[in-house]
Amino acid sequence: MSVVSAAKKRSAVSRFNALIRRTGHGDVIFRALTILAGIAVLGTVLATGYSLWDTTPLPREKFGLGFLWSNDWDPVREEFGALPFIYGTLLTSVLALLMAVPVGVGIAIFLAELAPDWVRQPVGYLIELLAAVPSVIFGLWALYVLIPVLVKPTSEFLNTNLGFLPIFAGPIFGPSRLAASVVLSVMILPTISALCRDVFLAIPNAQREAALALGATKWEMISQVLVPYGMSGILGAIILGLGRALGETVAVTMVIGNNRDLTSSILHPGYTMASIIANEFAEATYELYVQSLVEIGLILFVITLILNSIARLLVWQVARRAPTEARA
Partner 1 sequence: MFNKFFLFTALLGLIVLATACASPTTAPSSAQPTAAPKAGAVTINGAGATFPFPLYSRWFYDYAFVDTSAKFNYQSIGSGGGIAQITAKTVDFGASDAILTDAQYTAAKNIQMIPTVAGAIVPVYNIKDTDGKVIITTLQFPYTSLADIYLGKIKKWDDPVLKNANPNIKLPSKDIAVVRRSDGSGTTFAYTDYLAQVSAEWKEKAGSASSVKWPVEGIGGKGNEGVAAMVGLNDGAIGYVEFAYAKQNNLVFGAVQNKAGEFVKPSIEAVQAAMAEYGTNMGDKLALSIANAPGKTSWPIATYTYLLVYMDQTDCVKGKKVVDFIKWVLSDANAEASAKSLDYIPLPDSVKKQVLDKVSKVTCQGKAF
Q: Is 257 in the site for partner 1 (CB under 8 A)?
A: yes
Which residue, 209 or 287, has its beta carbon nearer to partner 1?
287
**Contact region with partner 1 (CB under 8 A), list: 21-29, 218-226, 287-295, 299-307:** 287-295
Which of 49, 163, 174, 243 is close enough to bind partner 1 by CB under 8 A?
174
Which of 22, 285, 324, 328 is close enough to bind partner 1 by CB under 8 A?
285
Which of 207, 259, 304, 308 is close enough to bind partner 1 by CB under 8 A?
259
For residues 192 and 104, the answer to whether their CB atoms sit within 8 Å is yes
Stretch 188-227: interaction string toward partner 1, x if CB under 8 A: ----------------------------------------
Q: Is 159 in the site for partner 1 (CB under 8 A)?
A: no
Which of 76, 132, 213, 328 is close enough to bind partner 1 by CB under 8 A?
76
Q: Is 308 in the site for partner 1 (CB under 8 A)?
A: no
Q: Is 173 in the site for partner 1 (CB under 8 A)?
A: yes
Q: Is 62 in the site for partner 1 (CB under 8 A)?
A: no
Query: Which residues contact partner 1 by CB under 8 A?
Result: 55, 72-77, 143-144, 147-148, 152, 171, 173-175, 253-254, 257-261, 269, 271, 275, 278-287, 290-291, 294
